[in-house]
Structure formats: C-alpha cells, structure tokens
Amino acid sequence: MKYKNEFGDDFRWGVSTAAYQIEGAHDIDGKGPSIWDAFVNRKGKITGGHHGKDACKFYHNYANDIKLLKHLNIENFRFSFSWSRIIPQGTGQVNTKGLDFYDRLLDECLENNINPWATLYHWDLPQALEDKGGWTNRDIEQWFMQYADICSSKFGDRIKHWMVLNEPMVFTGAGYFLGMHAPGRIGLKNFLSSAHHAALCQAQGARVIRANVPVAQIGSTFSCSFLQPMTTSRKDELATRRFDALLNRLFIEPSLGLGYPVSDLKFLRRIYDYHKPGDEALLPFDFDFIGIQNYTREIVSHSYFIPYLQAKLIKANKRNVSATVMNWEVYPEALYQMLTKYGNYSGIKKIIVTENGAAFPDTLIDGSIYDEARTNYLKNHIAEVLRAKQDGIAVDGYFVWTLLDNFEWAEGYFPRFGLVYVNFNTQERIIKQSGKWFREFLGNQ
C-alpha cells in the first residue's frame, strides 16, 4: 500500500479535532462555561492539574492551522462546535460572536479547498444545563434540538457532512457512571438516564439537521474496541459478550431500530424506566453513514467482583504487549475486525473511520520529531482499512486523530496524538515525521 488511489477516488482522507481540546479562549467573546471548564478545576481529576483554558489557542490561530492542513494535503477537516460558545446558557440567547467565529472558520476552510465535517456535540455540555441535570434531564431532548436547529440552519449552506454525537458511550459512561470525565457523576441511575437521553438526541438531532439541510450527509460516531476473551472458558466468553453489548452495541443498535441489547446485558433492562410513550419510534434514524473510532483491542476476563458486568479488562501492561502511552495495545487488526462487525449490520449504509491514532513519547531533537512508532501505527492501520474495503465492507473514509497535540481530557497534555507537535508554552507548531509521511501518502496518486 504505497498509493492512496488503491482506495478509490471517492475515499475521504482527513483529520479529526474537538472544540474543547484545541480552541482555548474559554471565557472570551461571550462564551459561557462548559462542564469541562468546571471539571478541570476539581482537584485530582486531571493529570498534572492541567486544563483546556488555552489548549492550542485554535480560536486565535485557526487561519494558520487551516493553512497547515492544506500544506499537509488534508482535504477533510472534522471539528466540533462548542455549544457554550454558541448558546452560553445552553438554551435561549444565542451568542453572535460565537457564530461569527465558526463563520470565519468555515470560510477559511472553503477558501483553502478543505471540506468541513461538523460534530454537534463533542462532550462540552454548557455548565448551565448540567446545573439542571444535564444529560440525566429529559428536557435535554428539547435543548439539544434547539442547538441542532441553530447550527444547521446557520451553517448548513457550507457544511455537507454532519455528525450528531461523538462517542456517546464514553461521555455517558465516563462522565455519568464512573465520574472520570466531566461532569464527574457516579452511579447506575445517572448512567442509564443519560444514555437513554443521548440515544434520543442522537436521532432527534439528526432529524433537525435533515429538515434544515435536506442534502446533507448525516452520521454519528461510535467508540468501539475489538474484544476477545482471556481464555476459552464459558465464563470469559459470556463476560466478553456483556462488554460487547455495553461498549460496542448500546448506541448503534437503537439507531438501527434494534432496541437496546438487553438480552446480553441484563441490567440494561432498567433503562426502560426512563422511556416515555413513543420513545421506541424516536430512537431509530436512517443515517447516511456512521463513524467508528477504534484504537485498540481489549482482552476480557470474568470477575465476580465487578458490579453489573461481572467482567474486567486486562490492561496491556499486564499482558506484555506493545502499547501506546495510553496503555492501549497496538493491534492494527482490531480496526479491520470492527469495520467487519459494523459492516455486517444490514442498516448501515457507509462507514467512515472518524478517529484512529496513537500517542507515543515524542522527543524534540534539533527541531524535529522522529516518531517512527506513530508512522508505523498509521501505516498498519490504514492497511487494515484497505483490507476491509477489499473484502467488500462499505468503508469510505479515514480520519487521523488528530491534527495537533492537544488537551486529552483526564490525561491532560501528557499524551500527544498529533501529526503536528505543539509547544504549549510558545504555541509553536512542528510537523512530525508522521505528519510528513501522511502528507507524502496523500500526495501520491
């Protein structure tokens, strides 16, 4: 695999980013606080006490960063809107300066022949809405639909590709069950209510976009992990099935009209406590594509002591395998397996790999980053995408996570995923070896 034309002329190549992770400018030009603006102030929650108040200062540097995309031959740019920049209180009054920023960003993209791919929600809920219950409050359905209406009616003339939610399993699981991400809530009740409301918003937001932009390509993105049992025992196999229902099926299957995977995960039956009459008909939506976001393989073992799941993941450092600084196993075939898994759903028309990438220790030597491990990671994972495509899976795009080293949520600035190195003191950008390789790959016909 030396040339991108092996994928066909219509295959989409790009990079993905998220507002809170790169924009900075957390409290200027009328922006309201988000749950992450609040969460980073809680002691012990973020590695090194880091925060995203400045991040990559993309809000100020966007024009140069878009030109950097053009230099790298990257024609598709996935970004997210900041809900609290557009509607500071989450609902009600719109912030015109927030809209103006995204107007400028979109115009800059189009002037440089870069296609913008917009994500409505990438985890930064306005804090004012969290104060009212956030994703656990059924009213979020209406709040989110208003937000989707404002964004799609304002920007639908320039954005052809839309994603509704980014990884709902992660922001509900880590944010409302485990308390590891914003807003830091814990407990099954918080998780099940937020999960059901997110699944509703996933479809309802898409309906709003469809009404405002009939010609749009609409999708949503799903985190996923290739899961294998630690042993061939019946207990480990059943534990793996339960984890699969939770991590890989919980949000995609309702969108396809299949309901929640309660048969393989019994505690999920309690999610119906949060249903209202008519919800079953609201959950499905006929998406034009789905985005899958895969980074690794996980090994699953039965465990009596883990509530609800009776299962645990055996971390990479316990298995003596090659891993990234996130302690995620480097296992390229995982991407092929997940493309195959989702490709086997009859209701999925098209798949885009909307995130794939790796954080490795980057060392600046004489002004350069020689990140051979990341370069090899990308080469090997792109090869697995081609393998899936050649097997007949309807995969039509691949987006690297991410363009710039950025704020990586609870891990702060320690993990560097970018094709471009960022000096967070000076905001200098340096293209890494992996970025140079990707530029050459995209330029080779």
Active-site annotation, residues:
167, 355
Helix (H) or strand (E) holding 66, with range, is helix 58-71
287 burial (CB, 10 Å; 0-12 / 13-18 / 19+) is: buried
Q: Exposed, middle or buried: residue 202 (CB in 10 Å: 0-12, 13-18, 19+)?
A: buried
Q: Supply the DSSP string of 392-425, one letter for each residue.
A: T--EEEEEEE-SB----GGGTTSS---SEEE-TT
The one-character DSSP state at 205 is H
CB 31 within 8 A of CB 88: yes
DSSP letter (8 states) at residue 48: G
Residue 132: its H or E element: none
Q: Do residues 254 and 260 touch, judged by C-beta distance below 8 A?
A: yes
* Residue 434, CA atoms < 13 Å, CB-side half-sphere: 28
Residue pair 198/173 in contact by the 8 Å Cβ criterion: no
Inter-residue contact 220 to 201 (CB < 8 Å): no
Alpha-carbon distance 272 to 278, whole Å? Answer: 12
- Give the C-alpha distances (Å, rounded to integers) separating 293 from 296, 338, 353: 10, 9, 6
